[in-house]
Chain A
Amino acid sequence: MQHTLIAKVENKPGVLNRVASLFRRRNFNIESLNVGQTENPDISRMTIVVENKGNNAKIVEANLYKLVNVIDVQDLTNQPTVTRDLALIKVKVDAIKRAEVVNLANIFRAKIVDVASDSVIVEIAGTEEKIEGLVELLSPFGILEMVRTGQVAMMRGDSPGVRHTPGANGHQSNNNKNTKVN
């Protein structure tokens, strides 16, 4: 299973490098890492997808707090969230196959954003599963190039994500599995 973590970090030079270096140093395997601006110009937001072996997500969270520039980390896995990935897919098509690809794109509510004599570029935004579904159907035509942004995620409504680590950066843990005492 995968875990999706959101990290709010100070928007300062070198912070992405610190996070990446931490992952390398601690031997964490990251599926995807996306960094972007937020409503606050002083804060950037990272969406980090990790393979969850053992208590990986918790360990990644706790280690992120070792970085002075990391403000908050929440685990969105199994919470009500909206997640999106954006892909550009260049597909090999001749005039005859083009219509089929356009058709598929329509079904997926994807867009054709470029048409050349022997290829088209399909743009799709959605969940990982949706993108993977389209990729699978486009593969037989021949995918010439593909780029994906990696996941971004946001909680629905005002529900918070899970914080596994009690006391980190002044946050209380809301993961009640922290103690095994009954």
Chain B
Amino acid sequence: MKKTGAQIVNECLVQEGVKVVFGYPGGAIMPVHDAMLDYPIHHVLTRHEQGAVFAADGYARTTGDVGVCIATSGPGATNLVTGIATAMMDSSPVICITGQVAAHLIGGDAFQEVDVTGITLPITKHNYLVTSADQLAEVFKEAFFIARSGRPGPVLIDICKNAQVEEAEFDYPKEISLPGYKPPKHADMNLLEDAAKMIGEAKRPVILAGHGVLMSGAMEDLRLFAEKTQTPVAMTLLGLGSIPASHPYSLGMMGMHGEAYCNQAIQNSDLLLAFGMRFDDRVTGHLRTYAPRARKIHVEIDPSEIDKNVEVDVPLVGDLKTVLEDITPIVSPKDNEEWLDQIKEWREETEARDILSWPDEEKLHSAHVIRDFWQKTGGDSIVTTGVGQHQMWAAQYYQFEQPYKFITSGGAGTMGFGLPSALGAWFANPDKEVWTVEGDGSFQMSLNELATVVQEGANIKILLINNSYLGMVRQWQEFFFDKRYAATPITGPDFVKLSEAYGVPAKRVTKSGDMENAIEFAQNTPGPVLIEYQVEKEESVYPMVPAGAALDEMIRRPITQKKASS
């Protein structure tokens, strides 16, 4: 049956199981929005296109399925750019649909014409320019497949106005033909055996669990492998939730703001098992000093990650879950007691230094705030974040027991991600508790989306860590720029009043004594709520591996601080 291109777009979305899209209208995409009224697809009007792509990303990361956003041509499309780059860096499956001027006008600088496929070429996994309606069905089928398979990533579909209006025969393809796109599944059998041998020989192995664990759904396989080989599991920021925080083999987070004992374990390891992670500079520290005595096995679906940052001994290119299913039966059970005991010792030292072990003296420390939040939500909430110190505190002090619960911009570190990604997460999980941990700087980049939250009745709770600074940058200035606080003191509105003006009940907490009922207030109030914590202004995130230092050369929390307060 013949349909208009705009109808075909919606037909394709329905075929792919899409129930909600996040977007913003405009001239070049009007036919698609118009047709959407006739389909069972809910359109969420964000207050900025960047919010739409962040929301689609949050949707994707909490479900493992594709999130969809939609924008008009020109400025609408360019407003997506930061969000697309964010999704690309974190391999998040997002489909971006943009309007484009009519095909015959392309290249003529028509009103709101921007070369969006050109602009997004390096920040998408793939992109398409659709110039006629008959291309649409095939393009959508391919785009969804590409976005969610292999190493996932954003795919942009730029649709000329004429292609939305003209008619074409609609028949959703069952098969696709992509001769250049066959994501690997099983790793090379010989290499697998080499890896098994190395694992057998190792005395101080550490697993490095990355985002790939969640994306291939390999949590259970990871646990079985770790338990069989008695190998502790360090997680990247995006790998949190790979194994429950309370699991005896969990080492928590590695890297720049990772647990000290976790970094010590990595540096002293004789075998690193990198599972779906890419040795980002934020987790390796200085490369030449990285885990100098460790052999390395890298399980990775994207061959271009092999030897990119760290040269490895055995590359296992394949889907992590499949590779673990293949390798676990051929490794022999191990006893690494001595190694685990050594790590335990480091861990005790770390814990003694932790601010959680110190009295708060009525002061409001962010770490205490996050711990309180973690305890009151039973470690069971979906938590999205902005970027900065609050993000790191959330990662350090919220103990994630489950995967797909911690949603944060890792590779790009994009401020403004928190609230809109929570919106997307809530649409994917309307029955779960959804919180966003925001910084005062990050929140001010996206607080316009409060209106969207209210319009949609989204049950999102906002935990605002207000330190009156762009705190993470201030911390760098404190450590490396002689405390010259250039461009980092930041004011904000009265966040409680602002929130209430949007129709969001709010509460302010200024000292530790007031912390008591704040989270309960949010939990017991239906709909969105904001809690502002006016925390200690000049606190730093510890430990910290300075850029260019070895992973175990961490700046630790000054012990004098403890003495002073106890």
- Within 63-78 of A, Cβ neighbours of B (below 8 Å) are at 63, 65-71
Cβ contact within 8 Å between A62 and B198: no
The interface size of chain A toward B, counting residues with CB under 8 Å, comes to 32
In contact, A167 and B303 (Cβ under 8 angstroms) = yes
CB contacts under 8 Å to A, within B294-311, are: 302-304, 306-308
Q: Considering the chains assembled together, what is the distance between the CA atoms of A55 and B309 in angstroms?
A: 12
- Which of the candidate stretches A17-25, A86-94, A101-109 sits at the interface with the other chain? A17-25
Cα separation A96 to B187 with both chains bound (whole Å): 68
B304 contacts A167, C-beta separation under 8 Å? no
Known: A59-B304, A62-B306, A166-B191. A181 touches B317 (CB 8 A): no
Contacting residue for A178 out of B180, B181, B191, B308, CB 8 A = B191
Q: Which residues of B contact A22 (CB under 8 A)?
A: 122
Nearest A residue to B194 by beta-carbon distance? A181
Once bound together, how far apart are the Cα atoms of A179 and B302, in whole Å? 17
Q: Interface readout for A162-179 with B: 1 if CB under 8 Å, 0 if not?
A: 000111111011000011
Q: Complex formed: what's the CA distance from A179 to B194 in Å? A: 8
- The smallest C-beta distance from B259 to any residue of chain A, in angstroms, reads 31
A173 CB, min distance to chain B CBs, angstroms: 7
Q: Does A58 contact B (CB under 8 A)?
A: yes
Asked if residues A165 and B317 are in contact (CB atoms below 8 Å), the reply is: yes
- Tell yes or no: A180 within 8 A of B by CB: yes
Does B104 count as interface, using CB distance less than 8 angstroms? no
Q: A104 to chain B: closest CB distance in Å?
A: 45
Verify A167–B194 contact, CB threshold 8 A.
Answer: no
B182 surroundings in chain A (CB, below 8 A): 169-170
B interface residue count range (under 10 / 10 to 19 / 20 to 34 / 35 or more): 20 to 34
| Interface membership of chain B positions 316-335, coded 1 if the CB is closer than 8 angstroms to chain A and 0 otherwise | 01100000000000000000
Query: Distance (Å) between the CB of B145 and the closest chain A CB?
Result: 10
Instruction: Select B197's contact among A25, A70, A172, A181, beta carbons within 8 Å.
Output: A181
Q: In the complex, what distance in Å separates the CA atom of A29 from the CA atom of B180? A: 24
In the complex, chain B residues whose CB is within 8 Å of the CB of A17 = 121
* Contacting residues, chain B, for A14 (C-beta < 8 A): 117, 129
B146 interface contact, C-beta 8 A: yes
CB of B315 within 8 Å of the partner chain? yes
- Return the CB mask of A6-19 against B: 1 if under 8 Å, else 0: 00011000100110
A167 contacts B318, CB within 8 Å?
Answer: yes
B313 at the interface (CB under 8 A from A): yes
Within 8 A of A (CB), among B170-197: 178-182, 184, 187-188, 190-191, 194, 197
Task: Say yes or no: A58 contacts B307, CB within 8 Å.
Answer: yes
List B contacts of A69 (CB < 8 A).
180
Cα(A66)–Cα(B317), bound, Å: 13
Q: Across the interface, do B122 and A25 meet the contact criterion of CB distance under 8 Å?
A: yes
Query: Closest Cβ of chain B: how far from A3's Cβ, in Å?
Result: 16
CB of B126 within 8 Å of the partner chain: yes
- Nearest CB on A from B347, distance (A): 32
In the complex, per-residue mask of A81-122: 1 if CB is within 8 Å of any chain B CB, else 0: 000000000000000000000000000000000000000000
Q: A59-B308, A166-B317, A180-B314 are in contact. List 13 more A-B contacts (CB 8 A).
A: A18-B121, A58-B307, A62-B306, A68-B146, A68-B181, A165-B303, A166-B315, A167-B184, A178-B191, A178-B315, A179-B313, A179-B315, A180-B313
Spell out A's residues near B (CB within 8 Å): 9-10, 14, 17-18, 21-22, 25, 55, 58-59, 62-63, 65-71, 165-170, 172-173, 178-181
